[in-house]
Structure 1
Amino acid sequence: MDGCRAVPGLGHCPGPHGPETRTRSLQHHFDLTGIAIVTSVALLCGLALSRLKQPAIVGYIVAGIVLGPGGFGLVSPSDSISALAELGVLMLLFLVGMELSVKAFQAVWKVALAAVVCQVGLSLLVTGLAGLLLGWPWPRAIVMGFVMALSGTAVAIKMLDDMGELKTETGRVTVGVLIAQDLAFVPLLLITQGMGSGAGLSAAVFAKLVAAMAALGGLVWFLSRRDRLIVPYGDWFKRNHEVIPLAAMAFCFTMAAATGVIGLSAAFGAFAAGFMLGNSDGRALALRATHPIQSVLIVVFFLSIGLMIDLSFVWSHLGEVLLLLFAVTALKSAINVGTLHLLGEPWERAFPAGVIMGSLGEFSFVLAAAGLSIGAIDRNAQQMAVTVIALSWLFSPIWLVSARRFHVLAEGGIGSMRGALKQVYRGEIAMINRVGGAMLRAAAATLDAVLRLLGRR
């Protein structure tokens, strides 16, 4: 080859057209066209759902459905996507931890923790009864109960913001319960992972669960007694902004790796890292610096969820999916409203807060995937769970309208449920009556014209 040496990583001699050859090699190895299509479709779907007053993450799920095997088949699940999606889960937990405010949680922690305990317990009761009727093994009933118990934080916060309730007492209670649910996710995940294929919780798994809950409780107590943690070398980081993203990511993944090694789950470490950093003097810098990286990995996570949704499965089980969607949303809302009212919240606060938390949660996806990995649920059950979770977010505009109207109605007092439904949907009922009347009049006029024409003949 006239003394030409192969370039490391390319495996061939560049030759006279080296740059073009390298470009073709990159195109082959990284499939730049595929990456361009995926990112563009994800962007368009995210923007479209944002215009429809939905969280952008719903758009990323839709993009995964469109691009995946159930859509145009341009992208298929792979080990690389799974690995990036797992990093996305860790970054989502890290972000949730950073967003949690101990000070905001302190004001409602008793009600919030009690509400979450009741929500998990009642959800397990519902899925346990369903399991008895349908013949489920008990690990499946438990996993489905955990999936049902958690609410969608992003959807709930957006609904509160759209209703102008985020800074009110209703918003304070709702956000407090959502924070408590995020704190409860790690123990729920540990329980799910520890069940195996029906083997039950061993003493070692129970010890890990107790250790994780003790560590989490101790961390909350420690942070609540201090104004802000001081980040070591904070002044140096402020002068060298370019290293902040790497430092934050290193802290997140180091904590995740450490807790994973000692058996407390990598998810716990990522959440704890975000929780500590979020209650430190470096919170604002870390959030701003890591946001682009977090966004990319979280997009991959929700894209991977869309790739798992099989449209042929949804179509063949459409009746079951819609029935389950309505049943889960209604039951969750009833559990939330009843729990908050029993804990002392007045109806005018409990009702909108409970309805707003009616959608299933982001971490419900993770629990369903964990249930599948240990054999507690099968592929069809996981497919059904993922579909219902995603649709519960898409269903949120209808739930938002209902929540707004029920909120106004609750302030004036609610009589019977029948009367409440008539009041809430009186606009739709009136429109149906008007449209129906117009259609009947048009049909009558058409029939009359036809009869006259026939009579003339």
Structure 2
Amino acid sequence: MHFDPILPAVVGTTLIGLLLSLLFRQFKLPLVLAYILTGLIVGPQCLSLINDIDVIETMGSLGVILLLFFIGMEVSPDKLRRSWRVSITSTGLQIILCVACVYLVGSLLDWSLQRIVLLGFVLSLSSTAVVLKLMQDNNELHSEQGQHVLGILLVQDLAVIPMVIVIGIMDETGVQSDVIAMQVGAGIGVLILVRWLLNQEYVEFRWLNKLKVNHELQVFGALLCCFGLALVSGLMHLSTALGAFVGGMLVAKMKDSLWIRSSLEAFHVVFIALFFMSIGMLLNVHFIVQNSTLLASLLFLVLVGNTLIATVTLRLLKISWAKSLYAAAMLAQVGEFSFILATLGRQSKLISDYGYHVTVAVIALSLFASPFWVALARKVLPAPCVPIAEDDNK
């Protein structure tokens, strides 16, 4: 009897993911690590159950969109409004300091200014998906640090726009002026829409209320709410995850919108797991083993360096040392958008093929190491995160 050849891959991946998740949960380790390790095992480096990484990356990107959509529905408008000054200032200082630190290293290694700027940009971005998943798992999203970190991640998403423009200017082919104008205009539009949402008590879409009579209609209506603004954001050459976050904020302002969250919960679990599996598939075991000493040294420098830089920037904004250090530990890893910047740098000949592979390996390893780094900070620091709910009850 004929059966679809994709079934062994689906069953094998699901089984391995389930077993590793149970094992990691038994030892109270983040499930993010189980997903990444599953991707490494089932990917082309080990069992080769899945060889088409592009498909998994595409499905994983949907998981990031869903994650940001859910975060948008949970965000506290008042807390987010109060944290914008910290978010913008801290992000700007982190980018400047990262470029400055890479300049100190690059000047010793005789790097070009273009390579220094590119690598500084790459290291200054954190992983929205990893950090928000960790905060959700630890119930820290609504803490003071959680709100600051969320704001910083959103500003970093917007900062990718000028970074891409700068990389394009450093490339001999230059950049497209119409794309730049669209990105800048769309970025301003997003800020205006967010500002408007923060000032609204509620918004109402009567056509959505008609979908509550049928569960199937609810599912498709919820998917439209989630991916609609993500699509618009992507068409404007902005981050689709940023558009999904704004869509989540819009839904949160609607009356009786809990059915949207319940309709998408299962999609959220599956696709966010696929995103982290795609990270595991990017880990080239052979390359890592061959360059283990170099990669281990770079990973340590990246985690420590990013933590120190973020701590200093947050401390300059009058946040306590303990809270600054914990928030900085969350932001220490290198983000998924850095993959895009590294690819642009390779295409523009700003880094060599070997430098590109080293950069990708460090990014992927930092994502894998991030939960351990955050767990270490939680153990070292005294009660680093206090939930907002507890603050309100005092």
Same fold (TM over 0.5): yes
Q: Secondary structure at the match of 1:49?
A: helix
Answer yes or no: is the 8 Å Cα contact 2:91–2:155 preserved in 1. no
- Post-superposition shift, 1:61? 1.5
Identical positions, percent: 30
1:77-226 aligned within 5 A: 77-136=52-111, 140-152=115-127, 171-188=143-160, 191-192=163-164, 195-196=167-168, 198-199=171-172, 200-226=174-200
Answer yes or no: is the 8 Å Cα contact 1:42–1:59 preserved in 2. yes
1:417-456 aligned within 5 A: none
Answer yes or no: is the 8 Å Cα contact 1:115–1:177 preserved in 2. no
CA spacing shift, 1:351–1:262, aligned 2, 3 Å:
closer
Q: Distance in 2 between matches of 1:190 and 1:266?
A: 16
Q: Distance in 2 between matches of 1:256 and 1:327?
A: 35
CA spacing shift, 1:282–1:140, aligned 2, 3 Å:
farther
Equivalent position of 2:4 in the other structure? 27
Equivalent position of 1:39 in the other structure? 14
CA spacing shift, 1:49–1:374, aligned 2, 3 Å:
farther
- Post-superposition shift, 1:131? 4.0
* Structure of larger gyration radius: 1
The superposition leaves residues 363-396 of structure 1 with CA deviations (integer Å, 9 ceiling, x where unpaired) of 5455555655776555544443343334334434
Q: Distance in 1 between matches of 2:159 and 2:354?
A: 25
CA spacing shift, 1:406–1:201, aligned 2, 3 Å:
farther
Q: Distance in 1 between matches of 2:290 and 2:191?
A: 45
Answer yes or no: is the 8 Å Cα contact 2:307–2:329 preserved in 1. yes
Q: Does residue 69 of the first structure (1) align with residue 41 of the second (2)?
A: no
- Unpaired runs of 5+ residues, structure 1, are 1-19, 411-457
Answer yes or no: is the 8 Å Cα contact 1:337–1:353 preserved in 2. yes
Answer yes or no: is the 8 Å Cα contact 1:102–1:220 preserved in 2. no
Equivalent position of 1:443 in the other structure? none
- Post-superposition shift, 1:400? 4.1
Higher RCO (CA < 8 A, seq sep 6+): 2
Q: Secondary structure at the match of 2:264?
A: helix
RMSD value, Cα? 3.5
Q: Distance in 2 between matches of 1:340 and 1:389?
A: 23
Q: Distance in 2 between matches of 1:212 and 1:89?
A: 20
CA spacing shift, 1:166–1:38, aligned 2, 3 Å:
closer
Equivalent position of 1:358 in the other structure? 332
Answer yes or no: is the 8 Å Cα contact 2:200–2:253 preserved in 1. no
CA spacing shift, 1:174–1:378, aligned 2, 3 Å:
farther
Q: Distance in 2 between matches of 1:157 and 1:257?
A: 21
- Post-superposition shift, 1:188? 0.5
For residue 287 of structure 1, the aligned residue among 245, 254, 261 is 261
Which amino acid in 2 is paired with 1:178? Answer: L
The superposition leaves residues 110-137 of structure 1 with CA deviations (integer Å, 9 ceiling, x where unpaired) of 1222112211222232234444444555
Which amino acid in 2 is paired with 1:235? Answer: N
CA spacing shift, 1:242–1:67, aligned 2, 3 Å:
same
- Unpaired runs of 5+ residues, structure 2, are 385-394
TM-score (normalizing by structure 2): 0.81
Equivalent position of 1:345 in the other structure? 319
Equivalent position of 1:331 in the other structure? 305
CA spacing shift, 1:366–1:282, aligned 2, 3 Å:
farther
CA spacing shift, 1:235–1:164, aligned 2, 3 Å:
closer
- Post-superposition shift, 1:313? 0.4
Which amino acid in 2 is paired with 1:182? Answer: L
Which shows bigger deviation, 237-246 or 184-193? 184-193
Q: Secondary structure at the match of 1:313?
A: helix
Answer yes or no: is the 8 Å Cα contact 2:211–2:217 preserved in 1. yes
